[in-house]
């Protein structure tokens, strides 16, 4: 059996299927739980050193990954000059370490603070395990196998496009080092876990509306159309 094909040709579809169907199911059946339960109210001193570095480190990195999938040619053009390549790689590395620091603080906090432990589910532990694998292997890729941005755009991105085209060609990534393969496979696990964990909170898209909406909100129950929360009482 071709393990490469099973892991990188079939699992991606399964993961995305679970993510899409699972998210729709959870959003419709349990909207109440659709967020990342904040524990800042119980402990806010350590959290500061976790939440800020983590989010400000990981969001730009994640965005870069997505942008390169969409515009790989832009990346090659940018990396054409060595100075720009160094700049990109170094800032990526710095952001990666920032995120790693935040993540380690998260793990330390969740394991040591008894109040935070009281609101920790097994899913939260799983989330931290998946994330630490992802960040450590990501940093490994960047440090051990340079230049990561180039071979990501050269090998992984065509593979992702082949998946989009429903014509999976695992050959693109078959020869990547083990560390990179772990990084990719763990990313698939991450996608599949989205509906079942606090990962759903990055699918929350409403805060952007806050910038444009008026401060005050009124609702008129006598004017509103049918609400969606009608439940018949037996």
Partner 1 sequence: MDVRAQLSMLFHLDKCIGCHTCSVSCKNIWTTRQGAEYMWWNNVETKPGAGYPLTWEDQNRYRGGWEVTSGGSLRLKLLKGPGKFRTLANIFFQPNLPTIDDYYEPFTFDYDNLFNAPAGDDQPVARPKSLITGEYMDKVVLGPNWDDDFGGSPLYGANDPNLKGLSEAQKECLTQFHKLFYFYLPRICNHCLNPGCVASCPSGAIYKRGEDGIVLIDQDTCRAWRFCVSACPYKKPYYNWGTGKSEKCIFCYPRVEGGMPNACAHSCVGRIRYVGVLFYDADRIDETAKQPDDRLVEAQRDIILDPFDPKVIEGAKKNGVEENWIKAAQNSPSYKMVKQWRIAMPHHPEFRTVPMNFYLPPLSPILHQAKAMSGGTFDPETSDFWNDIDRMRIPLKFLANLIGGGNERVVLESLKKQMAVRIYRRQKRIGDVGEEKAKRILSEVGLTEQDAEEIYKLVSLATYQERFVIPETHREIKTTVDPRTVYEKRGNVGLGPKTAEWPRRQW
Site for partner 1 (CB under 8 A): which residue of 4, 23, 36, 179? 36
Give me the DSSP letters along 36-70.
Answer: ----TTT--HHHHHHHHHHHHHHHHHHHHHHHHHH
33 touching partner 1, by CB under 8 A: yes
Q: Can you tell me the distance from the alpha carbon of 61 to that of 40, in angstroms, rounded to the nearest whole number?
A: 25
Give the separation between CA 60 and CA 55, rounded to whole angstroms.
9
Binding mask 201-230 for partner 1 (x = CB under 8 A): x--x-xxxxxx-x-xxxxxxxxxx-xx-xx
Q: Which stretch binds partner 1 (CB under 8 A): 13-21, 35-43, 145-153, 169-177?
A: 35-43
- Residue among 94, 131, 114 at smallest CA distance from 46: 114
Residues 111-170 that bind partner 1 (CB under 8 A): 114-115, 117-119, 121, 123
Q: Is residue 3 at the binding interface for partner 1, with CB under 8 A as the rule? A: no
Binding-site member from 25, 48, 86, 164 for partner 1 (CB under 8 A): 48
Task: Determine the Cα–Cα distance for residues 98 and 85; give it in Å rounded to an integer.
Answer: 20
Select the residue interacting with partner 1 from 41, 73, 82, 167 (CB under 8 A): 41
> Is the torsion defined by CA of 219, 223, 229, 234 positive or negative?
positive
- Position 54 contacts partner 1 (CB under 8 A): yes
CB of 228 to partner 1, least distance (A): 9
Q: How far apart are alpha carbons 71 and 178 in whole angstroms?
A: 26
- Would the CA dihedral through 32, 126, 52, 78 be positive or negative? negative
| Candidate list 7, 42, 104, 128; residue touching partner 1; CB under 8 A | 42
Residue numbers of the site for partner 1 (CB under 8 A)? 30-44, 47-48, 51-52, 54-56, 114-115, 117-119, 121, 123, 196-198, 201, 204, 206-211, 213, 215-224, 226-227, 229-233
């Amino acid at each position: 059996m071709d393990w490469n094909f099973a892991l990188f040709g079939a699992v991606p579809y399964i993961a995305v299927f679970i993510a899409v169907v699972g998210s729709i199911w959870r959003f419709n059946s349990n909207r109440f739980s659709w967020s990342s339960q904040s524990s800042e109210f119980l402990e806010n001193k350590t959290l500061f050193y976790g939440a800020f570095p983590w989010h400000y480190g990981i969001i730009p990195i994640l965005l870069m990954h997505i942008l390169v999938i969409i515009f790989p040619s832009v990346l090659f053009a940018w990396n054409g000059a060595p100075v720009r390549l160094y700049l990109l790689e170094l800032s990526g590395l710095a952001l990666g370490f920032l995120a790693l620091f935040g993540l380690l603080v998260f793990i330390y906090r969740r394991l040591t603070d008894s109040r935070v432990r009281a609101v920790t589910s097994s899913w939260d532990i799983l989330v931290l395990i998946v994330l630490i694998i992802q960040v450590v292997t990501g940093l490994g890729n960047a440090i051990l196998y340079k230049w990561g941005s180039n071979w990501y755009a050269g090998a992984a991105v065509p593979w992702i496009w082949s998946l989009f085209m429903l014509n999976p060609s695992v050959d693109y990534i078959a020869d990547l080092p083990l560390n990179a393969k772990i990084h990719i496979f763990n990313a698939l696990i991450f996608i599949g876990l989205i509906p079942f964990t606090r990962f759903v909170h990055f699918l929350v898209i409403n805060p952007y509306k806050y910038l444009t909406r008026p401060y005050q909100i009124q609702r008129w129950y006598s004017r509103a159309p049918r609400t969606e929360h009608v439940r018949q009482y037996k």
